Amino acid sequence: MNNDIILTGPPRSGTTLACSLLNELPNTAALHEPMNLKMFPDPVTALEETQRFFVRMRTSILETGTALSKIKGGSIPLNPFADDSTSERSSVVRKGTLHFEKSFSPDFKLVIKQNGHFTFLLPELSNHFPVFVLLRHPVATIASWNTIQAPVAQGNLRVLKTLNPELYHSLERLPDLIERQVALLVEMYNCYDSLENSQFLYYEDLIASQGKSLKNIIPAAENHEHALRSKNKNPLYSLELIRDIKNHLAKVSSAFAGHYTLDDIFAY
């Protein structure tokens, strides 16, 4: 069994929260965006770099109890962006050394999370790693993009310059921001089309189950009991923004139909 596990999903879908919760489990390590753009110059090299990175992090954890990850105060937070009342929240995490205060067996589970990087590398990754995708209601996903300081807030991803330059430039040509963001989200969902139902997790289930839905990745998560609160109706999301997002999503709702229906979009 391959104990090196890929976790991905659209940015702001709850993947950082998932990493934080997974790190509470025995014999499990989850890393939040430890890789960098230089490791993804093209799909072939990116796959090779990912394979080598898993080996390096597994060795580091077994030998020193440490690994690279984006962290805050020495650990992975539940939310990588400031949870305040401003509409342009900044990142609160920085790349650093994550220290694990627990023991690991040689066959421990190592989960590495990258959002855009792994999403647009899925055809290559799926043949070599167990892959899991965490999704969140598309209205809330895009609404959250509009409250943070990150490339995705502009409806594009830097990694697309190397993994899919044609898509990067086509997105850049779309003048309307929400249209661009929706187009990006559609492309990400298209990347997930080849996956099985068992490979998907949902933010809404993660919250409602108090973290237990992560058992699909690590069975020990069945014992999680966290008082988690949904951020889908964040007061930072204005009614005007929500209406605009809904109208744009309605035009391409078939892209999300296997996960969120048109009724789901308008019921938000």
Q: What is the DSSP string of 43-79?
A: HHHHHHHHHHHHHHHHHHHHHHSEEEEEEBTTB--S-
Count Cβ atoms within 10 A of the Cβ of residue 229 and give its class: 0-12 exposed, 13-18 middle, 19 or more buried.
Answer: exposed
4 contacts 110 by C-beta, under 8 angstroms: yes
185 contacts 136 by C-beta, under 8 angstroms: no
DSSP 8-state symbol, 140: H
b/e burial code for range 44-73 (CB count within 10 A of at least 16 → b): eebbebbeebbeebbebbeeeeebbbbbbe
Average pLDDT score, the chain: 95
* pLDDT above 90 for 32: yes
The second-level CATH assignment, the architecture, of 4-267 is 3-Layer(aba) Sandwich (3.40)
> pLDDT digits over 33-79, tens only?
999 999 999 999 999 999 999 999 999 999 999 999 999 999 999 89
Contacts of 132 (CB under 8 A, 6+ apart): 5, 6, 7, 8, 199, 200, 201, 216, 217
Tell me, what's the pLDDT at 86? 60
Tell me, what's the pLDDT at 89? 83
Q: For the chain, give every domain's residue range.
A: 4-267
pLDDT category of residue 151 using cuts at 50, 70 and 90: very high
Give the separation between CA 209 and CA 194, rounded to whole angstroms.
Answer: 26
Give the separation between CA 11 and CA 234, rounded to whole angstroms.
Answer: 16
Give the separation between CA 175 and CA 232, rounded to whole angstroms.
Answer: 27
> pLDDT digits over 167-178, tens only?
999 999 999 999
DSSP 8-state symbol, 100: P
Tell me, what's the pLDDT at 1? 61
Give the separation between CA 208 and CA 205, rounded to whole angstroms.
Answer: 5
- For 132, phi then psi, to 5°, come to -130, 140
Tell me, what's the pLDDT at 83? 75
14 contacts 206 by C-beta, under 8 angstroms: yes
> pLDDT digits over 211-238, tens only?
999 999 999 999 998 899 999 999 889 9
* pLDDT above 90 for 8: yes
Start-to-end C-alpha separation, the chain = 40
* pLDDT above 90 for 249: yes
> pLDDT digits over 104-148, tens only?
999 999 999 999 999 999 999 999 999 999 999 999 999 999 999
Q: Which amino acid is at 138?
A: P
Give the separation between CA 90 and CA 88, rounded to whole angstroms.
Answer: 6
* pLDDT above 90 for 88: no
> Full-prediction pTM beyond 0.85?
yes
Using DSSP, state whether 69 is helix, strand or coil: strand
Tell me, what's the pLDDT at 82? 80
Percent composition of the chain: helix, strand, coil (DSSP 3-state, to 5): 45, 15, 40
